Chain A
Amino acid sequence: MNEQTSPRFGKGVKLRREPDGSAMLLVPEGALVLNPVATAALELVDGAHSLGEIVETVVDRFDVTPERAREDVAALFERLMERGFVRPSDVACPERSRGAQVDKEC
């Protein structure tokens, strides 16, 4: 993913807001508790907002330098991508693209 990529959530992944304003990322058989920066970033995961726009939002809303925001957002999305919780919006079916060699019969 680069700054132009617009991430989307993987299958079965969604953001849950709590009444107190905190949030969790719900995933198959798990839930990740999110800090405020991660929450702000993941609220913009919709296949339309680019990573660059997400970084801008973080810079606007938190007391953080653009460099630091870029690093933090990149690290967050790298971790989530490795586990299939987010994907670039141009990948339609992660099951097909992520599986090593999908048998034609399957």
Chain B
Amino acid sequence: MLGRPLSILCELTYRCNLQCPYCYNPIALREYRDELSTQQWNAVLRDAAALRIVQAHFSGGEPTLRPDLPDLVETAAGAGLYTNLITQGTFLDDAALDELIGRGLDHIQISIQAPSAEAADRIAGTVVHEKKLQALRRVRDRDVALTLNCVLHRRNHDAIGEVIALAERFGITRLELANVQFYGWAYRNRTALMPTLEQVRRGEAIVEAARERLRGSMEIVYVLPDYFGEFPKPCMNGWGSQFLTVTPTGDVLPCPAAAAIRDLHFENVRSRPLADIWQNSDAFERFRGTAWMPDPCRSCERRELDWGGCRCQAFLLTGDAAVTDPACSLSPHHSIVTALREEPSLLEAIPRRA
């Protein structure tokens, strides 16, 4: 039986003033300029609440570039949704923060690119690190939950200990260290961003020790590097199982990276109700459950643990979204991943740009 979705990711805009090469947004940013209106987003949020969705995540691009963000937060909170803002923080001045919190914002996630301004600004492609630190202080001192995020990749992986030290210095109680996932711009830049095996192993040891030392004062969420494990990540806890994403133009995706799958057609909230898209659309039905699975997933005892991994990654790496995620060591295509992992390139990454 089809369960309820728990979480909606509202990608309000793909516009951003930063140029991080690890961004998972699609390469074809220009196709997303006809953004949903305030009214349309309000309807999406109310429909999400009616579907008994629990959490609304506001992301992008940079969601604070939408002047109607406080209105959307108010709509979501008023409909009973838990509200989370995923931002790079450069526009969070006192007035903006007070407005958002006053309208019912529950949680803010701010990202930094690296622990030092020099390295961070090089990755972001613009001078923003100091502004982000100011935003961190402002959020920390207000009545809203705060998570500090840092995406890890070849260029900053060696600084993982310094990121944790910065979080401690700032009194952060929740830190998310997420190894880069290779979608969108990050996929284009994968050889430049791929950490080395040595970096990954060293990083894991540092995180493990820090977790032990900081138990009870800081929670460290560590997102494993997808290409280095034995089994794939349980992407979205199963396609069309708990999560849905709405793009800036209103397409509804089972996974934030699903637009990459060119042979799937995604329905749009402008022309079809959210509940109907969730329950009945071809794109959501296509990889729901286990019936679609090929071997080796079909007979694998882990099929309801990792759900075949990520459909978008399968498509990006093999051209076929219906095969086992090549990140799985049992995949017949696993050599694609091992080859990528073993040969990180020294090439510079291409900055994200519209």
Contacts and interface: CB of A to CB of B under 8 A. Distances in A.
A16 B144 contact: no
B106 A12 contact: yes
Contact of B82 (A14, A93, A94, A98): A14
B286 interface: no
Interface stretch (B30-38, B112-120, B187-195, B215-223): B215-223
A10 B170 contact: no
B172 interface: yes
Interface stretch (A26-34, A36-44, A50-58, A60-68): A26-34
Interface string B156-179: 000000000000111111100000
* A interface secondary structure, majority: loop
Nearest to A19: B52
A93 B173 CA distance: 11
A92 to B, nearest CB: 10
A96 B171 contact: yes
Contact of A16 (B54, B137, B168): B54
Nearest to B167: A99
B169 A106 contact: yes
B309 to A, nearest CB: 21
B168 A100 contact: yes
A106 B55 contact: no
Given A28-B107, A28-B145, A98-B217, A16 B171 contact: no
Interface residues of B, number: 31
B168 to A, nearest CB: 6
B144 A11 contact: yes
Interface in B264-310: none
Given A95-B173, A103-B170, A106-B137, A11 B143 contact: yes
B107 A99 contact: no
B211 to A, nearest CB: 13
Interface of B: 6, 52, 54-55, 80, 82, 84, 106-107, 137, 140-141, 143-147, 168-174, 214-219, 221
Query: Which 5 pairs, one residue from A and one from B, show the smallest C-beta to C-beta distance?
Result: A12-B145, A99-B171, A102-B171, A103-B169, A11-B145
